[in-house]
Chain A
Amino acid sequence: MRRIRWNTPLVTALTGLGLITLLGIVAPFLAEEEATALSGAARAHASSEHWLGTDALGRDVLARTLVATRLTLEMTLAATAIAAVTGILLGAGVWVSGRRVRELGLRLIDVMISYPALILALVIATVLGTGPTASVLAIGLGGAPAFARLTANMAASVAQRDFVTQARLMGVPPYRVLVRHLLPNVAGPLLVLLSVAFANVLVALSGLSFLGVGVQTPDYDWGSLLNSGLASLHTNPAEAIGPAVAITVTGVLAGFVGDGLAAALDPRAGRAKVAAARPVVTAPSHRAPGEALVTVDGLAVVLPDGTRLVDDVSFHVMPGEIVGLVGESGSGKSLTAMSVARLLPEGLAAHAAELTLDDLDLAAPGTDPKRLATEIGVVFQDPSSSFNPALRMSGQLSETLRVHQGVRGAEADRRAIEALERVRIKEPARVMKQYPHELSGGMRQRAMIASALLPGPRLIVADEPTTALDVTVQAEVLDVLKDINRRRGTSVLLISHDIGVVGTVCHRIVVMYAGRVVEELSAADLRAGRVRHPYTRALLAASPRLRDTGTGDRAPLATIPGRPPAPAARPSGCAFAARCPVVLDTICATERPRLIDDVACHAVRQEVQAE
Chain B
Amino acid sequence: MISSPHKLAVEELTVAFGHGRRARTVLRGVSTGVRAGQTLGLVGESGSGKSTIAKAIVGVHPARAGRILLDGEDLTGLRRRELGAVRRRVQLVSQDPYASLNPCMTAGEAIAEAVDPVRADARKHAVTVERWLETVALDGSAAGRYPHEFSGGQRQRIAVARALAVGPEVLVADEITSALDASVQAEVLNLLEELRRSLTLTMVFISHDLAVVRHVSDEVAVLCQGELVEQGPVRDVYRSPRHPYTRRLLASVPTFDKKEEAA
Contacts and interface: CB of A to CB of B under 8 A. Distances in A.
B118 interface: yes
Contacts of A556: 190, 193-194
A170 B114 contact: yes
A170 B215 contact: no
Given A171-B88, A173-B118, A557 B261 contact: no
Contacts of B2: none
A18 B85 CA distance: 51
A542 B253 CA distance: 17
Given A2-B104, A529-B260, A546-B257, A470 B208 contact: yes
Contacts of B193: 554, 556
Given A2-B104, A162-B96, A550 B117 contact: no
B4 interface: no
Contacts of B162: 166, 170
B137 to A, nearest CB: 10
Interface string B246-263: 001111111111111111
Interface in B214-263: 214-216, 234-235, 238, 248-263
A171 B85 CA distance: 8
B1 interface: no
Interface residues of B, number: 69
Nearest to A478: B254
B113 A504 contact: no
Contacts of B59: 169
A543 B186 CA distance: 7
A166 B100 contact: yes
A180 interface: yes
Given A498-B254, A500-B254, A171 B210 contact: no
B23 interface: no
A170 B113 contact: yes
B194 to A, nearest CB: 8
Contacts of B40: none
Interface in A454-480: 470-475, 478
Interface in A554-580: 554, 556-560, 563
A167 B113 contact: yes
A523 B209 CA distance: 22
Contacts of B85: 171
Given A474-B254, A539-B182, A559-B187, A544 B117 contact: no
Interface string A147-176: 000000000000001110111111111001
B257 A557 contact: no
A270 to B, nearest CB: 16
Interface in B137-191: 146, 151, 159, 162-163, 166, 181-183, 185-187, 189-190
Contact of A543 (B90, B113, B114, B211): B211
Interface string A230-244: 000000000000000
Interface in A407-438: none
A547 B260 CA distance: 12
B201 to A, nearest CB: 14
A558 to B, nearest CB: 7
Contacts of A551: 262
A103 to B, nearest CB: 15
A184 B104 contact: yes
Nearest to B193: A554
B186 A550 contact: no
B166 A539 contact: no
A608 B12 CA distance: 62
B100 A542 contact: no
Nearest to A505: B254
Q: Which of B118, B181, B211, B234 has the most CB of A within 10 A?
A: B181
A372 interface: no
A546 B183 contact: no
A247 B215 CA distance: 69
A176 B117 contact: yes
Contact of A544 (B189, B235, B250): B189
Given A184-B104, A529-B258, A550-B259, A475 B87 contact: no
A196 interface: no
Nearest to A1: B104
B87 A171 contact: yes
A542 B262 contact: no
A329 interface: yes
Interface in B101-124: 101-105, 113-114, 117-118, 120
Interface of B: 45-46, 58-60, 84-85, 87-88, 90-92, 94, 96, 99-105, 113-114, 117-118, 120, 146, 151, 159, 162-163, 166, 181-183, 185-187, 189-190, 193-194, 208-212, 214-216, 234-235, 238, 248-263
Interface of A: 1-2, 161-163, 165-173, 176, 180-181, 184-185, 187, 328-329, 441, 470-475, 478, 497-501, 503-505, 526-529, 538-539, 542-547, 549-551, 553-554, 556-560, 563
Q: 6 shortest A-B CB distances, which residue pairs?
A: A544-B215, A550-B262, A470-B45, A542-B186, A475-B252, A184-B104
12 contacts: A165-B94, A167-B117, A169-B90, A171-B88, A471-B253, A504-B255, A529-B260, A546-B210, A553-B235, A554-B216, A557-B215, A559-B186
